[in-house]
Amino acid sequence: MRILIIEDEKKVASFIKRGLEQESYAVDVVEDGIEGQHYAEVNEYDAIILDIMLPKKSGLEVLKDLKAAGVKTPVLLLTARDTVEDRVKGLNIGADDYLTKPFAFEELLARLRVLMRRGSHGSPVLKFADLSLDPATRRAKRGDVDVELTVKEYALLEYLLRNPNRVLTRTLIAEHVWDQTFDSETNVVDVYINHLRSKLDTKDFPKRLIHTVRGVGYVLKEE
């Protein structure tokens, strides 16, 4: 899952980023409204955390333009001003929820999870063939076998399961599981795919599910 934070207060942004990364999200941070809107339009995010008071372009303006451009990503507004007017305006323009600063990280996380569940992602337990992943317990299962995953393995598997039968390039995977600053020259994606295979796609299972597409990337599919 990949999240965009548009927030100019460095402390707040890095507090959220750190927390989300510990929860295995890939996070991009942008500090002004214009660049934020650009990121939101050109990249695929699962949620956007948007501050209202931003340099160059206000959060409400950004929100309005994103909606006009047809961006469907759920948006959580942040506001320091606890004014009813801003909140009502934001919700009217199409924000999915709002949070008034200061807030506890747990609260933000809970709201984000609700937004993402409400979005296009449907059923909470992700399934493909005899493979399943429960985001609530963060446990993977292949057939009857329970499998422990590390934070990044979890994020990678979640991304594959949300995009079955779709060829995913290394860059796409890296951006969703790591973030924009990820160095695509490294072979970290291949290394983690191998970790997943050694846990979930071994000879002990009836068929292989994670397939290599030579020179391109990977696809989760049943042969």
Residue 8 makes contact with Ca ion by CB under 5 A: yes
> In the complex with Ca ion, which residue's Cβ is closer, 57 or 211?
57
Sign of CA dihedral 71, 77, 81, 82: positive
Residue 53 makes contact with Ca ion by CB under 5 A: yes
Alpha-carbon gap, residue 26 to 124, rounded angstroms: 19
How does strand 26-30 pair with strand 47-51? Answer: unpaired
CB of 53 to Ca ion, least distance (A): 4
> In the complex with Ca ion, which residue's Cβ is closer, 53 or 114?
53
**Which residue among 28, 46, 51, 96 contacts Ca ion (CB under 5 A)?**
51
Alpha-carbon gap, residue 137 to 202, rounded angstroms: 23
Alpha-carbon gap, residue 119 to 121, rounded angstroms: 5
Please give the size of the binding site for Ca ion, defined by CB under 5 A.
3
CB of 83 to Ca ion, least distance (A): 14
CB of 58 to Ca ion, least distance (A): 9
Strands (E), the chain: 2-6, 26-30, 47-51, 75-79, 97-100, 126-128, 131-134, 139-142, 145-147, 168-169, 210-213, 217-220
DSSP 148: -
Q: Which stretch binds Ca ion (CB under 5 A): 25-33, 52-60, 156-164, 179-187?
A: 52-60
> In the complex with Ca ion, which residue's Cβ is closer, 58 or 169?
58
Chain position whose Cβ is nearest to Ca ion? 53
Question: Using CB under 5 A as the criterion, which residues of the chain lie in contact with Ca ion when the complex forms?
Answer: 8, 51, 53
